[in-house]
Chain A
């Protein structure tokens, strides 16, 4: 397998290092030794030494959620996410991507989303249509919200309506490219999708990105790939927090006790931790999970649930266990994918989105 020297160095450092063994949300949920950064590095290093075939490790390469907990934990700065994504890219170039992943890739290329969806639900379609006139501000919903959680997408729109924001939602919203980036890394197809998206976003002064996953891509990955966005891109949480600060949203604190599930894309990648807290504190009483902000534990996503649904359930259940361990009865989320994952398994804990909290 062709691999950059930088990646090889990271692989050879991580393959015999156990220090982040405790941190992988997938490994902790499954209890499988292969779901660790060191196991993944060992597998890749054995491929590089021709002691094992690339095909034999690819399933494991796709078991990584790329949440970066291991990267964040590493004192010396090694980056398992980098070599995992590069391996996905190389496998794609070598035609060794597993079939179940290729189905998702094909969907992304044909429909713009990994789920192969072509239409949103009726209420969301109507809400989008009502905001189709071009304004200075664009609300970018993202494919998870649009196609897999339209109720939440609707609520995201309602919150901005409530605050009197004049904004557009695109009827033919382009894909941000974040799903392709997850599936095949920095391939040409990924960059083409990102470039097209950047061009569409450039038509607006301000772009409010609802899904932290898209926000990470647009604010961070685009820069890494040399793709420029000629707009002021802000996260939904920071935008709503500013509306609250400016008095455009009326807040009444219910006194309800909640904890906040930090999306890693905000807290680790974009280093945004306080805006969501500012919103929550206006509407409820905020307590903290032991592992919060940059230390947050990923709670699942919709994309990986397409090919490992049972594992995603275990991941979400484990995070709920964390919440219950500090006495929490309600978890507030700021990421639609985590909302859906937690909601799917929550039994005696309430899962609330930020929009739920605001809209009451």
Chain B
């Protein structure tokens, strides 16, 4: 469903877009179209691997600021052309894929760092900045962002905001939606707006939280103020081995009522025996857990004492600090080719979140549903973001190449079926469609299942802000 228009009109629109962003920032080159057609989504990768071309945008534009974004959206709205926002393409849900053709609006020229404010402790930047660059800017003044996802180097500020991303230190410092002060947003009609100067107020619902997670369906976030922190005086690690997952859940829940570690990662027996064994070197049966606690040294001493006392009550074997330190050093290594899951395997990550009492049930329900219906599938999981009330599960299915159909359409069908099985099991047991990768086109069909009549709230906002439906069509179930 590419834009249906004649050559004359296409050329006319192209000149308007070139006028808006500059000729050199407006492309119809084959390499640009191909590059923006494949993201981290397994299906787009599989499609390209089979020598197929994914749906491509007709025009790629790279505006430098909100003013240029505004011009592009006004043109797109007038001609009713779909606009898909692209950060760095590291999304796993197909959220940035231009499935309807039209315009790809690549944000990476909006990568300016406008202000490093050590008084109010934030960095103001364009949302096209790669998050690692924000970390570098913070480091240059002795601070840190504390937002350390595996995709730190792969994804833009806007990408994390669009999908409600999260880093490994989230337990202490929060998700990306906890790290934003004010944002600049361009609405679909081209209006440039600003959210409240602070994220805590009583002036109605928080506008930040309407646009964070909206995946480019309600507007384009062009600037953000992101929190920075003092570097911790001390960061310590401690690894443990639990006999089973139940004991680990109980110990973790109790620990979180006492203090907040920065990192908490619990690996199920299957993942302990595979990934943890290969990358961290632990060759033991059980559930591996890594904890980091950090801040002022005096506090860290106390936290360590509490941690050891609490986990000992639940029979956790103390593995010392070495494995945890190794995990911290290698935390991104898991995602490089050679260590990460890759084609020709078929795989997916079904992250979900639920309160204690439900998350354990979801884990067993998803594992059973997938391994029963697809006996050739392996199911592994770890739990990496914890709260006083519940935890997030990062579970993955893996299918070896011999069970993956060569025909791309058949492979797509199998992939879709497994996702349907897994997500339904999560929803039926009190989970959500996704925790921090977003929805995209991959999971759009489940959003209505999760929300039910509440979906009309999202649809109402969408209809009012984007009456022509040009913003990232078929994503987020909108």
Which one, A28, A49, A326, contacts B111 given CB within 8 A? A28
Cβ of A165 under 8 Å from chain B: no
Cβ of B40 under 8 Å from chain A: yes
- A268 CA to B88 CA, complexed, in Å: 26
- A73 CA to B332 CA, complexed, in Å: 12
- A51 CA to B136 CA, complexed, in Å: 38
A51 and B53 contacting across the interface, CB-CB below 8 Å: yes
**How many whole Å from A118's CB to the nearest CB in chain B?**
33
- A297 CA to B35 CA, complexed, in Å: 24
A33 and B337 contacting across the interface, CB-CB below 8 Å: no
Q: Give the residue name and chain of the B residue nearest to A48 (CB).
A: B51
Which of B32, B35, B62: most chain A Cβ within 10 A?
B35
**How many whole Å from A212's CB to the nearest CB in chain B?**
24
Binary per-residue interface labels of chain B (24-43) against chain A in the complex, 1 for a CB within 8 Å, 0 otherwise: 10000111101110101000
Stretch from B127-135, B315-323, B357-365 at the A interface: B127-135
Which one, A21, A39, A291, contacts B90 given CB within 8 A? A21
Which one, B50, B88, B116, contacts A18 given CB within 8 A? B88
A39 and B35 contacting across the interface, CB-CB below 8 Å: yes
Interface size in chain B (residues, C-beta < 8 A):
52
Residues of A within 8 A of B24 (CB): 310
- A50 CA to B51 CA, complexed, in Å: 7
Interface residues of A: mostly helix, strand, loop or mixed? loop
**How many whole Å from B9's CB to the nearest CB in chain A?**
24
B62 and A52 contacting across the interface, CB-CB below 8 Å: no
Residues of B within 8 A of A45 (CB): 48-49
Cβ of B14 under 8 Å from chain A: no
Stretch from A74-82, A156-164, A172-180 at the B interface: A74-82
Cβ of B450 under 8 Å from chain A: no
B29 and A42 contacting across the interface, CB-CB below 8 Å: no
Binary per-residue interface labels of chain B (445-468) against chain A in the complex, 1 for a CB within 8 Å, 0 otherwise: 000000000000000000000000
A290 and B136 contacting across the interface, CB-CB below 8 Å: yes
B51 and A33 contacting across the interface, CB-CB below 8 Å: no
- A120 CA to B300 CA, complexed, in Å: 65
Known A-B contacts A39-B31, A76-B336, A290-B140; A31 and B48 likewise in contact (beta carbons under 8 Å): no
Which one, B53, B62, B153, B333, contacts A32 given CB within 8 A? B62
Cβ of A19 under 8 Å from chain B: yes
Cβ of B192 under 8 Å from chain A: no
A-B contacts counted at CB < 8 A amount to 127
Residues of B within 8 A of A73 (CB): 153
Q: Which of A35-86 contact B (CB under 8 A)?
A: 39, 42-43, 45-46, 49-53, 56-57, 59-60, 73-76, 78
Which one, B86, B110, B335, B336, contacts A33 given CB within 8 A? B86
Which one, B137, B139, B153, contacts A22 given CB within 8 A? B153
Cβ of B197 under 8 Å from chain A: no
Q: Which of B99-142 contact A (CB under 8 A)?
A: 106, 108-111, 113, 116, 128, 130, 132-133, 136-137, 139-140
Residues of B within 8 A of A326 (CB): 140
Interface size in chain A (residues, C-beta < 8 A):
42
Cβ of A17 under 8 Å from chain B: yes
A17 and B337 contacting across the interface, CB-CB below 8 Å: yes
Cβ of A227 under 8 Å from chain B: no
A290 and B130 contacting across the interface, CB-CB below 8 Å: no
Binary per-residue interface labels of chain B (71-109) against chain A in the complex, 1 for a CB within 8 Å, 0 otherwise: 000000000000000101110000000000000001011
Which one, A22, A49, A75, contacts B333 given CB within 8 A? A75
- A27 CA to B51 CA, complexed, in Å: 26
Q: Which of A68-127 contact B (CB under 8 A)?
A: 73-76, 78
- A282 CA to B1 CA, complexed, in Å: 66
B336 and A75 contacting across the interface, CB-CB below 8 Å: yes
**How many whole Å from A261's CB to the nearest CB in chain B?**
16
Q: Give the residue name and chain of the B residue nearest to A15 (CB).
A: B48
Residues of B within 8 A of A49 (CB): 48, 50-51
**How many whole Å from B436's CB to the nearest CB in chain A?**
16
**How many whole Å from A304's CB to the nearest CB in chain B?**
16
Cβ of B204 under 8 Å from chain A: no
Cβ of A307 under 8 Å from chain B: no
Q: Give the residue name and chain of the B residue nearest to A33 (CB).
A: B35
Other A-B pairs beyond A31-B106, A50-B51, A325-B116, 18, CB < 8 Å: A18-B89, A18-B154, A22-B133, A31-B110, A31-B128, A32-B108, A34-B29, A34-B31, A42-B48, A46-B53, A52-B31, A53-B30, A59-B31, A76-B338, A76-B339, A310-B24, A325-B137, A325-B140
Q: List 6 A-B contacts (CB under 8 A).
A: A13-B337, A18-B89, A19-B153, A19-B335, A21-B130, A34-B31
Binding site for A on B (CB under 8 A): 24, 29-32, 34-36, 38, 40, 45, 48-53, 60, 62, 86, 88-90, 106, 108-111, 113, 116, 128, 130, 132-133, 136-137, 139-140, 151, 153-155, 332-333, 335-340, 342-343
